[in-house]
Structure 1
Amino acid sequence: MLKLNNQAVTDDQLKELFPDLPAGPLDVYRKKARFDWRRMKLVYDNLETLKLKNDIWNFMRENPLFRHREATPSLDEQRHITTKRMYAIYSQNFIPLTKIGVEPRLFQSEAEALFMFDSSLAVKISLTFRMFSNVIQGSGRSHHYSYIDQAQQGEIGGCFALTEVSHGSNAKGMRTTATYCPEKKQFIMHTPDFEAAKFWVGSLGKCATHAIVYAMLISKGKNHGLHSFVVPIRDPKTLKPYPGVTVGDIGEKIGLNGIDNGFMMFNNYHLPKEAILDKFGGVDDNGDYKTPFRDPNKRFGASLGILSGGRVHITSISANYMQKAIVIAIRYSAVRKQFGPDNSSEELPVLEYQQQQVRLLPHLATTFALRIFCTWFGAVHITMAIDNITGGSGQDSASLGIELHALSCAAKPVCAWAARDAIQACREATGGHGYLKASALGELRNDNDANCTYEGENSLLLQQTSNWLLAVWPRKHQLSPSDHPLTSLNFLENADHILNNTCPWTKVEDMMEPANIIEMYKWLTAYTLKTTYEKVESLKAAGRDNFQAKNESQPYNATTLSIVYGENFILNHFYKSAKDFHDLECRKVLLKLVSLYGVFLLEKHLATFYIGGYLSGRGRGGVCVREAVTQLSGVLAGAAPALADTLAPPDWCINSVLGHADGEVYKHLQNNVMTYPGALARPEWWRDVVHWQTYATSKL
C-alpha cells in the first residue's frame, strides 16, 4: 500500500484500473524493471485522477462516435466530428463546472485523457467551455455567472478573443476598442480595420455563440488599457452572427484541424455596460474609472494571472504530446531489431545501441520532468482561479499573478520546444515506419507545432520573463517570500556567494548526483541574470534608451536567461518530487531520471559554464557532463519500456501501429496496410497509367 497526500492507494486498486499488459516481445524488458510501473503513475497522479481518466477512456471506447478513421477526413468532416465528440464528452459532465471544491488536478487529468485520444477534441472542449468559464469566474462578478450556467447546460459555447491580425504577444498594442457611452450606459465595440480583427480564435470559426473579447477601454477620452468583455456574437438558436459582427473561419492549418479557428470584426457594436468583466477594473454609470488597485501595474498584474491560463495549459499540452510520442518510440525501439555483434547472426533491439539510447532516453527523462511539473502548475493556476471566485486571495493575487505570468512565459517555450525536439527525435528514431501516418508521430509533430506560437510566440514570451527578472536583480537582497510565492526566485538566495564558486567536481559520478546538478543550475541561473543585467546597464550607459538596451541584449543574454530560469524551476520541482516519493524502488529510478534530465540540460549550456569561469581547464568538466548523459541513458535503457508503460494511454487511444502494449509491431503494421481503404484496389484512374500516351497526345 502506498500513502500519498493522506490517501491510501493499494496495488489491487491500481491493478483494477490498469490490468496486466498483454504478453509479447516487450516482456524481455519488462522483466528487467525492479519498480512497479503502476505505482510510478502516482508521482504525478492520485487515485481520483486515475479513476477519472479511466472513466473517460471507458466512455470513449464504448461509444462508436470515437472510433478512429484510417483515412484523413475532409476539413469540414474534421470540424464536424470534433464538435459532435465535444458535446458527447461534455454531456457526461465528468467534472461539473460549478464544483468549486473539486481536486484541481482533476482538470489536468481530464485534459490529459482527451489529448491522449485526439488533440483537437481536447483543445476544442477546453476553449468552448473551460477557458470561457474560467475567465468569467476569475475576472467577472456574480451577475456574469449566468453565462457559466448557460455554458454548463450547453446552451451557449464560448471562445477567447485576444490576438489580433497585427498584434499577438504585445497585448498592450491591441487596437480593438470598447468606448463607454454614459448616455446609453453602453460600450461601443469597434474594429478600426482588418489588422485589428480578432484572429486565430479557437472555436470561433463555425460554432461559438459568445466570446471573451479583449479591447481597449475608452471612457471620457482616456484609454484605460486592455479589459475583457463577454460579447454575444451569434444567435444560439440559428448560429447566425448578430448585426454589427463579422465572423468567419480562417481555413485549414498545419494541424489541429478539428478546431475551427476564426476571425471577428465589430462595426460599432453596442453592448450593455454589464458586458465588461470588471472585477479588476471598470467604469461607473458616469464613465469614471474604478479599480480596487491603486497602482495600475497591480491591476494589470492581477489580470495577468488570469491571462496566464492559456500558457499554463499549453505547458501541459506539450507534455501530453511528448508523453505519447516517447511511448511509441521506446516501445518500437525495444522491438525493432537491426544488426548485431560481429560473427553473430543475432540481431539486437535498436534500444541496445548507445546512439539510440542517447537520442531517446534524455527525452524520456524530460517527459517525466514536464509531466510532474505541468500537473502541479495547472493545479496552481486553477487554485488561484478558485481563490479569485471565493475572494480568498485579495491583493495577494497581484504578486502571485505577476510571478505566474513570468513563470508561464518561460515554461511555455521550454515545454513546447522540449516537445518539438523530442517528437522529432522520436520520428527519426523510428525510421521509415515512423513516417507513416499510422505511426501517429506526424500528427503529434504538427499539432505540437502550434504550441511554439499561440498564446504568445515563444521568443517574444521570453522577453516578458526577462523583463521581470531584470527588475528583480537590483533588489535581490530585499526579497521576501511574498515577492515570489511560487519560490521561483530561490536561486537568488546567497547569489553573491554562489557566483564566486567554481565547479568542485571532477568525476563523472559527481556529475550524476542530483544535488550537485541543482547547485550547478543555481549558479547558471544567477550568472545569466547577472550578466544580462550588466549588459543592459552597459548599453544604457553607452547612450541606448531602455528599448534599445533590451532589444540589443536578447540573443545569448535575456533569451537564455528566461530559458534557464524556466528549466531551473522545472528541474528543482522534479528533484523535490522524486525525493519525496514514498515507494523506494520507484524513487531510485526517478532520481536517475532527475540526473539524466539535469545533465541533459547542463550539456546544452556548457559554453556558458566555460565563459563564466565555473568550468575551466581542458574541458574535463564538459567531458564528464557528456559522459554522464551517455552512462545514465545506458543505465535507464533496460527500464525504459516499463517507464513507457507508466506514461502510456490505452492502445486504442494511442492509435499507433508502432506503440501498442503487446509489442507486435509487424502484425499491426500488416493489418493496417492490408485493410487501409483502397490499398489493394486498382485505382479509378488506372486508364491514365495504361493509356498515358493517348492522353498526352490528345492535349497536343
Structure 2
Amino acid sequence: MTATLTDTAPDSTTEQLTGVLLGPDLRREHGFWRRLISTEPFRRPSGGTPEERLELAYERLRILNRSLDSGARLASDPRALAALHAWLGPVDPALTTVAGIHYNLFLGSLLDHDRAGLRDLSDYLSMRRIGTFLCTEVAHGNNAAAMETTATYDRERDGFVLHTPNAGAQKFMPNTSPAGGAKTGLVAARLVADGADHGVRLFLVPLTDEVRALAGVRVRRLPARMGSPVDHCLTSFDRLFVPRDALLESGDETGGQGKPSAGPGKSPTGPGKSPTGPGKSPTGPGEFRTGPGDRRRRFLTSIGRVTPGRIAMSACAAGSARAALAVAVRYGGHRMISGSRGMPPVAVNAYRTHHGPLASAMATVFAMTLLSRRVQERWDACTDEAGRTEAERLVDVAKAWITWRAREVIVESRERCGAQALLENNGMTELVTGVEGAITAEGDNIALYAKAAADMLLAPEPGRHCRPEPGSRPGDLADPAVLGELLAAVQDIWFARAGERALRASPADTMGQWNAASGAGLRGVEAYAYHQAFQAFTEARATLPEGAAGDRLGELQRLFAVEWVARNGGDLLASGLLTAEQVDALPGAAEELISAVAAHAPELADAFALPEELLADWPIAGPGYADAYDDPTAAWNDPREDAR
C-alpha cells in the first residue's frame, strides 16, 4: 500500500510518516507534481537513442508548461521549484535539468531583476523560446567572479558588445543548442564602460533559432556527459551587439528571492503578471554607478538564483534516493533465494547481510528528506541579513551533505538489486549518474564545505561539548537528548582541532594556515550537517502523536545517530563523553535498531508516496519482474509444448 495525498487528517502510520516527510500541506506542494508524473506523457519509454531521449525531455518540458496556470508563479516559488525537482528527478533527470534551468535560473532571475513587471516575458512563459543560463566558463567555475567574458558599453549605439576573449572564457555546459527549440540565455559578463570595470552583470541574449546559432554566437556540443542526455555546450560570442535593455537592472540591487504563498497551479499576482514592455533602465545612457563593494554585491545579485537552485538540488537528490531505496526494498521482498540447509526458498530481505544496509539507508533517507525540509523552512523564514547568512550556510552544507548521502544510498540500493539494476529499463542507472550531476551542479560540494568551514572557524564555540562537566557521567545512549549532545560534541571536537592546527602554522602563511586546518574543518562541517539532520528528526517527532508513527520515526532517528556516534566513538571516548563500555556497546545497539527498522521497511518505503504508475515502469519494483524478460516465441509459450 502506497500512501496517498489527501485533504483529510492522516490516520494510518504510513500516512502520518508521509506527512512528516513531505510537510503538512501535501496537496499544494506535492500533489500537482505527483499527479503529473503519473500521466501517460511521463511514463517511462522503452529504449531510445540519447538524441531521442533529449527530444522527449524538451517535449515533456512543454507539456509541463502547458499544465501550469503560470510559469511565473512557479519561478517565483522556491517551494514549488523544490517539489518539481523532488518528483521529476526520479522520472527524467534530463527534463529535471532543463526545467530547473528554465524556471529557476532563467525565468526566476528575470523576475528578480524586474520587480515592476515591465519586461515582456510572453515568449518564455509560452516557451516559444526556452531559457538557459550562462555563467560558468571553461577556466572559471567556483571562482566565477573572475570570469572574462566582457560586455563593453557602446555609447554611440547605446548598447553592449559581448565578446569572448580566449578559450578559457567560453561558457561551459549551458544547454544552448537548438535542440528543443529556439533558446535565449542570461549571460553573465563583465560590464566595461569607458575603460572602467563595473563588475559582473546579467544580459538577456537570444542565442539560437530552431535550427542554428544566431550571428555572433558560436555553439558547440560538448562530449556526451555520463547520465542524462542534456545538450551541454560550449558557447562563445564574437563582438555580438545587444541593445541597452538587454542589461538586467533593478531598483532593488540587493536582489532576493520571491516567496509567494500559492503553489504552481495558481495564477500569478506578482512579478510576471501582464508583462507590458521591455525593461526600463534606472540610469540614463552611459551611466553605470558602482560604489565601494558594489561589484561583489551585484555579482551575488546576478547569481542569486543559485541558492534556490541548491535547495532544489537537495530535494532532487533526496527524491531520487527515496525512489532507489523503495525499489530495492520491494525487490528484496520478492526476489527469492534458496534457504539454508534445504529449507524452502526465502526472500533475500530475510538475510541480515541484505536488509542491514537497506535499514541504515532508510534512516539516512529520512534524515536527508527531513533536513531538506528544515533547510527550506529556515530559508523562507529569513527576515534580516544575519539570518539570511546563517540560513544560506545551512543551504550550502545541506546541498553537499544530502547529495553525497544520496549517492551512497543509490549505489547501495543498486547493488542490493544485483545485475537487474544495471539495466536501463529498471531505472537505477539514471539515478546513479544523475546524482553525480547534482553533486557538481550549483557549486561543487567540496567548495561549499570549504566555504562553510572557513566561515564557521571565524566564529566557532569550540570545546562547548568537548569535555564533560566536573562530576558528570556519560548519559544513557537510549535517550535522544543525549545522542543529540554527542552529535553536537563531534562537531565541536573537529572545529577545535581545526583551530588548533591553524595556530600551529605561521601567521604570515595564510595558505599554510588553511591547509593545516581544512581537513579537520571539513570534518566539522560534516558533523554540523549530521547534527542539523538529527535536529530535523527531533522537530518532526514533535509533530506526531504517541503511537506507531512516532515509534518508527524514533527508531530511525536513533539508528541514524548511533551509527554516527559509533563512527566517532574514539574521539568521544577520549573527550570523556563516552565510557569504554558504551563504545563497546554501540555495535550491539546499532544491530538492535537495524532489526527494528528492517521489520517495517516496506511500510517505511510506502511512506515515500511514490505513484504506482512510476513503480510499474521499473520491472524490478514488482513481483512479476521476470515477465519483462519473457520471450513470446519461446517453446515454453507454445501451447503445443504441453501436448508433447
TM-score category of the 2 structures, normalised to the smaller one: 0.7 to 0.9
Q: Hey, what does 2:275 align to over in structure 1?
A: none
Aligned-pair CA distance for 1:42: 0.8
Q: Is 2:531 the counterpart of 1:568?
A: yes
Q: 1:624 aligns with which of 585, 592, 597?
A: 585
Q: Hey, what does 1:248 align to over in structure 2?
A: 220
**How far, CA to CA, are the matches of 1:177 and 1:100 in structure 2?**
28
For residues 262-315 of structure 1, the C-alpha deviation after alignment (integer angstroms, 9 at most, x for no partner) is 221011222233323333279944655436996766656666653222222111
Q: 2:620 aligns with which of 652, 655, 658?
A: 658
More deviation, 584-593/648-657: 648-657
More deviation, 202-211/369-378: 202-211
Secondary structure, in 3 states, of the residue corresponding to 1:155? coil
**How far, CA to CA, are the matches of 1:592 and 1:95 in structure 2?**
42
Q: Are the counterparts in 2 of residues 283 and 290 from structure 1 also a CA contact under 8 Å?
A: no
Q: Hey, what does 2:352 align to over in structure 1?
A: 354
Secondary structure, in 3 states, of the residue corresponding to 2:186? strand
Secondary structure, in 3 states, of the residue corresponding to 2:565? helix
Aligned-pair CA distance for 1:465: 1.2
Q: 2:558 aligns with which of 595, 606, 609?
A: 595
Aligned-pair CA distance for 1:568: 2.1
Gap change, CA 1:144 and 1:226, over 3 Å in 2: farther
1:613-692 to 2 correspondences below 5 Å: 613-615=575-577, 619-654=580-615, 655-660=617-622, 664=623, 667-669=624-626, 671-674=627-630
Q: Are the counterparts in 2 of residues 354 and 630 from structure 1 also a CA contact under 8 Å?
A: no
**How far, CA to CA, are the matches of 2:610 and 2:176 in structure 1?**
26
Q: Hey, what does 1:336 align to over in structure 2?
A: 335
- Name the amino acid aligned to 1:316: A
Q: Hey, what does 1:24 align to over in structure 2?
A: none
- Name the amino acid aligned to 1:81: L
More deviation, 634-643/185-194: 185-194
Q: Are the counterparts in 1 of residues 217 and 237 from structure 2 also a CA contact under 8 Å?
A: yes
Aligned-pair CA distance for 1:70: 2.7
- Name the amino acid aligned to 1:37: T
Secondary structure, in 3 states, of the residue corresponding to 2:67? coil
Secondary structure, in 3 states, of the residue corresponding to 1:180? strand
For residues 133-191 of structure 1, the C-alpha deviation after alignment (integer angstroms, 9 at most, x for no partner) is 212223444366423x4322223211121211122122223222223344443232221
Gap change, CA 1:523 and 1:304, over 3 Å in 2: farther
1:183-222 to 2 correspondences below 5 Å: 183-202=156-175, 204=177, 206=179, 207=181, 209-222=183-196
- Name the amino acid aligned to 2:112: G
Q: Are the counterparts in 2 of residues 579 and 591 from structure 1 also a CA contact under 8 Å?
A: no
Q: Is 2:13 the counterpart of 1:36?
A: yes
Q: 1:115 aligns with which of 58, 81, 89?
A: 89
Q: Is 2:190 the counterpart of 1:223?
A: no
Aligned-pair CA distance for 1:127: 1.6
Q: Hey, what does 1:468 align to over in structure 2?
A: 455
- Name the amino acid aligned to 2:305: I
Q: Which runs of 5+ in 1 are unaligned?
A: 1-6, 16-34, 385-392, 474-491, 681-700
Q: Hey, what does 1:387 align to over in structure 2?
A: none
Q: Are the counterparts in 1 of residues 44 and 91 from structure 2 also a CA contact under 8 Å?
A: no
Aligned-pair CA distance for 1:53: 4.5
Secondary structure, in 3 states, of the residue corresponding to 2:621? coil
**How far, CA to CA, are the matches of 2:473 and 2:330 in structure 1?**
36
Aligned-pair CA distance for 1:328: 0.8
Aligned-pair CA distance for 1:633: 0.9
Q: TM-score, normalised by structure 2?
A: 0.84
For residues 167-217 of structure 1, the C-alpha deviation after alignment (integer angstroms, 9 at most, x for no partner) is 212222322222334444323222111211111114656345211222223
Aligned-pair CA distance for 1:69: 2.5
Q: 2:125 aligns with which of 152, 156, 163?
A: 152
Gap change, CA 1:402 and 1:161, over 3 Å in 2: farther
Q: Hey, what does 1:274 align to over in structure 2?
A: 245
1:45-56 to 2 correspondences below 5 Å: 45=22, 49-50=26-27, 53-56=30-33
For residues 306-336 of structure 1, the C-alpha deviation after alignment (integer angstroms, 9 at most, x for no partner) is 3222222111111011011110111122233
For residues 3-36 of structure 1, the C-alpha deviation after alignment (integer angstroms, 9 at most, x for no partner) is xxxx99426xx69xxxxxxxxxxxxxxxxxxx52
Aligned-pair CA distance for 1:383: 7.5
Aligned-pair CA distance for 1:50: 3.5
For residues 27-68 of structure 1, the C-alpha deviation after alignment (integer angstroms, 9 at most, x for no partner) is xxxxxxxx52123211133575337755545455443x4342
- Name the amino acid aligned to 2:130: G
More deviation, 292-301/112-121: 292-301
Aligned-pair CA distance for 1:505: 6.8
- Name the amino acid aligned to 2:26: T
Q: Which runs of 5+ in 2 are unaligned?
A: 255-280, 636-644
Q: Are the counterparts in 2 of residues 164 and 197 from structure 1 also a CA contact under 8 Å?
A: yes
**How far, CA to CA, are the matches of 2:23 and 2:530 in structure 1?**
25
**How far, CA to CA, are the matches of 1:178 and 1:625 in structure 2?**
60
**How far, CA to CA, are the matches of 2:159 and 2:246 in structure 1?**
9
Q: Are the counterparts in 1 of residues 86 and 320 from structure 2 also a CA contact under 8 Å?
A: no
- Name the amino acid aligned to 2:226: I
Q: Hey, what does 2:134 align to over in structure 1?
A: 161
Gap change, CA 1:404 and 1:9, over 3 Å in 2: same
Q: Are the counterparts in 1 of residues 152 and 192 from structure 2 also a CA contact under 8 Å?
A: yes
**How far, CA to CA, are the matches of 1:310 and 1:55 in structure 2?**
20
Secondary structure, in 3 states, of the residue corresponding to 1:124? helix
**How far, CA to CA, are the matches of 1:224 and 1:608 in structure 2?**
50
Aligned-pair CA distance for 1:254: 0.9
More deviation, 565-574/277-286: 277-286
Aligned-pair CA distance for 1:647: 1.0
Secondary structure, in 3 states, of the residue corresponding to 1:243? coil
Question: How many residues are treated as equivalent by the alignment?
Answer: 600
Gap change, CA 1:502 and 1:254, over 3 Å in 2: farther
Aligned-pair CA distance for 1:443: 2.0
Gap change, CA 1:221 and 1:98, over 3 Å in 2: same
Secondary structure, in 3 states, of the residue corresponding to 1:580? coil
**How far, CA to CA, are the matches of 1:602 and 1:331 in structure 2?**
30
Q: Is 2:389 the counterpart of 1:426?
A: no
Gap change, CA 1:675 and 1:150, over 3 Å in 2: farther
**How far, CA to CA, are the matches of 1:516 and 1:119 in structure 2?**
40
Q: 1:519 aligns with which of 476, 485, 489?
A: 485
Q: Is 2:506 the counterpart of 1:540?
A: yes
Q: TM-score, normalised by structure 1?
A: 0.77
**How far, CA to CA, are the matches of 2:322 and 2:479 in structure 1?**
25
Secondary structure, in 3 states, of the residue corresponding to 1:565? helix
Q: Hey, what does 1:579 align to over in structure 2?
A: 542
For residues 531-569 of structure 1, the C-alpha deviation after alignment (integer angstroms, 9 at most, x for no partner) is 22332233233x41x2332134333x1221222222322
- Name the amino acid aligned to 1:355: T
Q: 1:260 aligns with which of 228, 231, 241?
A: 231
**How far, CA to CA, are the matches of 1:111 and 1:658 in structure 2?**
24
Gap change, CA 1:548 and 1:116, over 3 Å in 2: same
Q: Hey, what does 1:498 align to over in structure 2?
A: 465
- Name the amino acid aligned to 1:164: E
Q: Are the counterparts in 1 of residues 463 and 496 from structure 2 also a CA contact under 8 Å?
A: no
For residues 346-382 of structure 1, the C-alpha deviation after alignment (integer angstroms, 9 at most, x for no partner) is 3443323223233111111111121222234346557
**How far, CA to CA, are the matches of 2:431 and 2:478 in structure 1?**
32
| RMSD (Å) for aligned C-alpha atoms | 3.3
Secondary structure, in 3 states, of the residue corresponding to 1:278? coil
**How far, CA to CA, are the matches of 1:304 and 1:552 in structure 2?**
31
